[in-house]
């Protein structure tokens, strides 16, 4: 006899590669990525920012965490500066981490917007499949399986990756209003 039987719907999907997941499996590294999201900092400045956020770490430890993030391609050197006979490295994140909870009434407030988005995404996925299905399937055949997962959803992963990258491009490009304003200056 089963005490609880339930069909559990998928409510969220986390898309990442194992290297990124491992790199972010540490609160300090997540704080570093967040610190570097809007400004470039040196190791010393990252150290100070972590202390401000309640993380007391040696600079060598901070350097180690930055190197792990760099190897996972979440952080990169943004510029080099000559300083005191050496070179000072400035780091910047090329990744945004979102870790928020919607307000209690957020789901209800956004229900209509979610339906609009769902309809638009369904149309877009259908278009991608019709126009680029062969390419998506070809890349899916070349994917390496996740070391943690038995069930693979290769085509879905590729479509999500395409949509995620497109969303990043759209959110990072200047809006048409900003473009027309800068063109008229």
Provide the 8-state DSSP code for 105. T
User: Which residues, 6+ apart, have CB-to-CB distance to 125 below 8 Å?
Assistant: 159
Quickly state the pLDDT bin for 183 (edges 50, 70, 90).
very low
Compute φ and ψ for 103, nearest 5 degrees.
-60, 160
Q: Are residues 82 and 138 in the same domain?
A: no
For residues 62 and 4, the model is more confident at 62
* Structural domain of 156: 106-175
User: Which residues, 6+ apart, have CB-to-CB distance to 155 below 8 Å?
Assistant: 136, 137, 140
Given 26, 58, 93, the domain boundary residue is 93
Q: What is the distance, to the nearest Å, from the Cα of residue 180 to the centroid of all Cα atoms in its chain? A: 29
Provide the 8-state DSSP code for 41. B
Mean model confidence pLDDT for the chain = 85
Residue carrying structure tokens 């956004």: 110
Q: Is residue 128 part of a domain?
A: yes
- The H-or-E segment that residue 171 falls in is helix 154-172
Q: Is residue 184 part of a domain?
A: no
pLDDT score at 29: 94
Reduced DSSP (H G I as helix, E B as strand, rest coil) percent helix, strand, coil of the chain, to 5:
55, 10, 35
Q: Are residues 79 and 137 in the same domain?
A: no
pLDDT tens digit sequence for 133-151 = 999 999 988 887 776 666 6
Q: Is residue 67 part of a domain?
A: yes
Q: Are residues 25 and 46 in the same domain?
A: yes
Compute φ and ψ for 55, nearest 5 degrees.
-110, 110
pLDDT score at 75: 94
pTM for the full model? 0.69
Q: How many CA atoms lie within 13 A of 102 on its CB side?
A: 8
């Amino acid at each position: 006899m089963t005490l609880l039987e339930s069909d559990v719907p998928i409510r969220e999907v986390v898309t990442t590669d194992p290297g990124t997941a491992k790199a972010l499996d540490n609160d300090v590294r997540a704080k570093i990525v967040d610190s570097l999201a809007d400004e470039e900092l040196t190791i010393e400045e990252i150290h100070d920012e972590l202390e401000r956020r309640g993380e007391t770490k040696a600079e060598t430890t901070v350097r180690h965490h930055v190197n792990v993030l760099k190897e996972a391609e979440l952080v990169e050197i943004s510029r080099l500066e000559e300083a005191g006979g050496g070179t000072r490295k400035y780091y910047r994140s090329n990744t945004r981490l979102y870790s928020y909870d919607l307000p209690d009434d957020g789901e209800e407030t956004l229900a209509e917007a979610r339906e609009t988005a769902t309809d638009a995404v369904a149309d877009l996925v259908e278009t991608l499949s019709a126009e680029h299905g062969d390419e998506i399937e070809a890349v899916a055949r070349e994917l390496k399986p996740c070391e943690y997962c038995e069930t693979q959803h290769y085509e879905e992963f590729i479509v999500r990756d395409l949509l995620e990258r497109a969303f990043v491009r759209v959110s990072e490009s200047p809006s048409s209003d900003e473009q027309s304003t800068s063109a008229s200056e």
